[in-house]
Amino acid sequence: MTHPDDVIASRVLHLLEQRAVGTSICPSEVARSLEQDEPAWRALMPEVRRVARALAAAEIIDLTQGDDRLNPDKEPEGPIRLRRGAYFKHP
């Protein structure tokens, strides 16, 4: 099942808001919160990563691998984490 970008973005922001400042979430947490069935949430992962890159391009979140902040204009390889960015705000 696909989800609109704004639903995915809202879930990313909501999950980050629930965490302490400076901590991160895994994109799979976003997908799992939207789809319970493993094949469904795994199929949603490319969309979650795409939306995360758009949020990172707007500096709302940061994409990270370890302590490295990733360039959102380039598709990251391997596992990534999502953190609050410079312009993070969530109602």
On whether residue 90 sits in a domain, the answer given is no
Tally of structural domains, the chain: 1
**Residue 2: predicted pLDDT:** 75
On whether residue 25 sits in a domain, the answer given is yes
Instruction: Give the predicted TM-score (pTM) of the model.
Output: 0.93
Q: Which domain holds residue 23?
A: 5-84
Render pLDDT for 12-28 as a digit per residue (tens, 0 to 9): 999 999 999 999 999 99
- The CA distance from 80 to 91, in Å, is 25
Could you give the count of Cα atoms lying within 13 Å of 25 in the half-sphere of its Cβ? 24
On whether residue 91 sits in a domain, the answer given is no
**CATH number assigned to the domain comprising residue 20:** 1.10.10.10
